[in-house]
Amino acid sequence: MQAAAVTSSLPLDERDQKLSFSIEGRPLPPSGQLLPAGYRSISEAYFTAMGIPLLRGRFFTPQDRAGNPPVGIIDETAARRYWPAGVEGAADPIGQKVRIGRTVVEVVGIVGSVRNGGLDKDPVPTVYLSYRQYPEYHVTLVLRHPHPQGMTAAVKGAVYAVDRQQPLFHIRTMAEVVSGSQSAARFTLATLAVFAAVAILLAAIGIYGVIYYSVAQRTHEMGVRMALGAAPADVMRQVMGEGLWLTAAGMVLGLAGSLALSHYLRTLVYGISPLDPVTYVVAMAVIPAAAIAGCWRPAARAARSSPMDAIRVE
């Protein structure tokens, strides 16, 4: 076991704990509203267990308990937003005091920011308070171990050895927590993928039908060309070239639109890449294949027939 701690709420958890505070010695904003922030009540080893780095100051210690002066730790986002460099008397939050309700809390550390609200959302200012000074009824036990999948039985045994009546539930790894937070986004993307596949299929059928009909209407023209000495291969080449040029123009416009849409999707779902090679390769293969098939069949049928038969086709 590398570290063990408790927290009132995990990152990416549905329990969105918030508080408001003011900075001692600094007037409130013109709106008169207190400064909003996220909130976590944690024990000393929480940052070690979660791998959150200490940027300045110190972590909580066992001495930060009830009866001693209240202390708190802020994240980097809170430090940058509420103690911006260049503001007189506000450049260094370490040692400054904030008022939370009726309690004055001294800032003793600054830690790295965490995307508590979701992977697709920017970190919000967060204040961490010592669990020994601000205990919570509902807590989550956090353990750091190189092989967390095999720790369930050992954790249950250790807890039940202390309190047999203590309920334990929803035991999971942080990888599972992260995956669960993205379940709604994955469902949305899966639905979009199904619709995209159907759209590509319909586009391919439509392109095939339009080009097939267009080329079939030119059977008489092909017969005239062959009667005047054009080789079937020349007729095929011309028909294929015209059809593929039209398809290429449409693909360029479609590619520009897809790039713009993918940048929009990236703002909605964390981890979306605007340049997914598999998606573009599939699209670039299906659409030209449909166009080639639409050109090839009627042109080949006309090229195989005699010029006089092609001329008589109306």
Q: What is the DSSP string of 183-234?
A: HHHHHHHHHHHHHHHHHHHHHHHHHHHHHHHHHHTTHHHHHHHHHTT--HHH
The ranges of the chain with pLDDT < 70 are 1, 14-15, 85-91, 120, 148, 181-182, 262-276, 298, 301-314
Inter-residue contact 313 to 223 (CB < 8 Å): yes
pTM of the entire structure? 0.63
Inter-residue contact 47 to 54 (CB < 8 Å): yes
* Cβ neighbours of residue 144 closer than 8 Å, sequence gap 6 or more: 1, 2, 3, 4, 48, 49, 50, 51
Task: Identify the CA nearest to 103 among candidates 126, 132, 70.
Answer: 70
Inter-residue contact 292 to 233 (CB < 8 Å): no
Taking residue 128's Cβ as centre, other Cβ atoms within 10 Å add up to 26
> Which helix (H) or strand (E) covers residue 180, if one does?
helix 174-181
Q: What is residue 310's predicted lDDT score, i.e. its pLDDT?
A: 57
CA distance 154 to 213: 71
> Which helix (H) or strand (E) covers residue 39, if one does?
strand 35-42
Q: What is residue 273's predicted lDDT score, i.e. its pLDDT?
A: 62
Q: What is residue 234's predicted lDDT score, i.e. its pLDDT?
A: 79
Radius of gyration of the chain (CA): 33
